Amino acid sequence: MLLAGVGDGPSLSAHRARFGALPTPDLDAVLSAVGAAAVAGRGGAGFPFARKVAAAAAGKRRHVVVVNLSEGEPASAKDTALALLAPHQILDGAEVVARALRTKEIHVVTPQERPAVADAITRAVDERAAAETRGGRGGPRWQLHSAAPGFVSGQAQAVLELLAGRPGLPVTAWQPEAISGLDGRPTLLSNAETWAQVAAVLRLGPLRYAAHGTFAEPGTTLLTLPHESDPDTAVVVETAYGTPWVSVLGAAVDRPVLLGGFHGTWAGAGVLAGARVSRVDLQQQGLTLGAGVVLPLPTGQCPIAFTWEIVDYLAGQSAQRCGPCRNGLPALAAEVGRLATGNPAVSWTRIAELVGLVERRGACAHPDGTARLVRSMLTTFDDEVGLHLAGRCGR
Amino acid sequence: MNRTIRVDWPSCAARGLCAELLPERIRLDEWGFPIVEGEVTPELARLAKAAVSACPHRALRLVAAR
């Protein structure tokens, strides 16, 4: 549904020719449609979009709409793919909801480290502005921003800081941004894919949207996977909920798979083999799909060493602002490193202790995500962890 | 209604006064940053307010317990 028009090219005229004019639902119609379609945030947290809109709508001050394209996770490419292939799908979602909220202020945040995204969005916004001028209407005021490189720059509070003209680093949120966001105004900030899904729901209506997916989880989700023969190349696929994992992953379905990317959780070998793509099913097993990054463990690789590499990277991506993260992540990475290398000084208890010391003790979810990954490694690979504690690897 | 203490982590500089003033609810981790445990009951409210206002970086807040 999101990528249906890829063959037509990314232009506004091709987009309108295929998908028709921008729908103009009022706020109640928006709320009931996105509620019925159970649209949830695709940035990783999975918060119900309808609740976010309702919270923002209750605010009295002028609303702000924010499109977040700043994919900090290097293994994710879905928002980049959307921006390059179907930018108007994203912008439609933001514009329809902004109109329903009677605001013209829409901010779009692109990642500096992926300049093609900003180029594609700039082109798309220019096309829309030109079309508005020709039509003699007053369109939204699109304001583009560039987020600095880094894993945490795409985090919601960091993005709001950037929009406020301060360094784009995470700060403590005392209230959800839908209630008090940019300059204390009600701010509807969502990930690019979320906006594209919203556009699809509002264009098709919840019933036709539900032609794909399952009863509990209508629609599709974007997944980013490594290319089968060239793992350094990311492949983005749009997958209907309920699709068997084997048809997404092929033979890799039998391997351990890291779901949800660097802040994600490990599905053990074979766990996905008979399963279908479903956030609900995964959640019941303590797993998360997060922003849709799916990384099968490369053949012959040690899962502990693989996880260590990621934890080490994540420790380096701390914004260095919050004490527990600044101190705890490097200590955690070092201890996981001792485990991975079979260092006799390693202590399982120390790893568990450090996980507890960083969790929920920061302005953003970076320490929590890192802790989740390590925790999941300890449980999913308990056999391998045991071997490593005994100084062996087994691979 | 009980309240709880939230830390504004980017502001906290591990000065540790909070743990001295409210050891009933706050201890320090190995790096000197506060570990907040449990809610602030009405009996502790006065001490908790003192700890919040003593913080040289204004990094603590009393908020409604969830």
Which structural domain, as residue segments, surrounds residue B9?
3-64
pLDDT at A229: 86
pLDDT tens track for B3-59? 999 999 999 999 999 999 999 999 999 999 999 999 999 999 999 999 999 999 999
Judged against a pLDDT cut of 80, whether residue B1 lies above it is answered with no
What per-residue confidence (pLDDT) applies to B65?
A: 85
Q: Sheet holding A64-68: strands in order across?
A: A141-147, A105-111, A64-68, A187-191
pLDDT value at residue A174: 93
- List beta partners, residue A187: A64
Taking the CA of residue B26 and the nearest CA in chain A, the distance in Å comes to: 14
Which positions of chain A have pLDDT values less than 50? none
Cα–Cα distance, A67 to A140 (Å, whole number) = 13
**Type of residue at A357:** L
- The number of folded domains in chain B is 1
* Cβ pair A324:B31 closer than 8 A: yes
C-beta separation of A211 from A124 below 8 A? no
Instruction: Show the domains of chain A with their CATH numbers.
Output: 6-209 (3.40.50.11540), 220-296 (3.10.20.600), 303-389 (1.20.1440.230)
Q: Are strands A257-259 and A294-296 parallel, antiparallel or unpaired?
A: antiparallel
Q: Which of B9, B52, B57, B58 to mutate to test the interface with A (most CBs of A within 10 A)?
A: B9
DSSP 3-state assignment of B40? strand
- Backbone phi, psi, residue A296, to 5°: -65, 140
* Whole-number pLDDT of residue A393: 84
Are the C-beta atoms of residues A130 and A13 closer than 8 Å to each other?
no
Alpha helices in A323-365 (DSSP H): 323-340, 348-358
Q: What is the pLDDT of residue A88?
A: 97
User: Which of A172, A321, A357 lies closest to B29 in CB terms?
Assistant: A357
Instruction: Name the token pair of A160.
Output: 């709001």
Rounded to two decimals, the ipTM of the complex is 0.96
Separation in Å, CA of A250 to nearest CA in chain B: 44
Please tell me which of the candidates B6, B33, B61 has its beta carbon nearest to residue A323. Answer: B33
Cβ atoms A210, A242 nearer than 8 A: no
According to DSSP, residue A211 is labeled T
Q: Which of A157, A161, A172 to mutate to test the interface with B (most CBs of B within 10 A)?
A: A172
Question: In CATH, what number is assigned to the domain containing residue B30?
Answer: 3.30.70.20
Using CA coordinates, name the residue in chain B closest to A318.
Answer: B10
Judged by a CB distance cut-off of 8 A, whether residue A171 touches chain B is yes
- pLDDT for position A4: 87
How far apart are alpha carbons A328 and A370 in whole angstroms? Answer: 10
- Look at residue A253 and give its three-state secondary structure: helix
Residues 19-48 of B with CB under 8 A from A: 29-33, 35
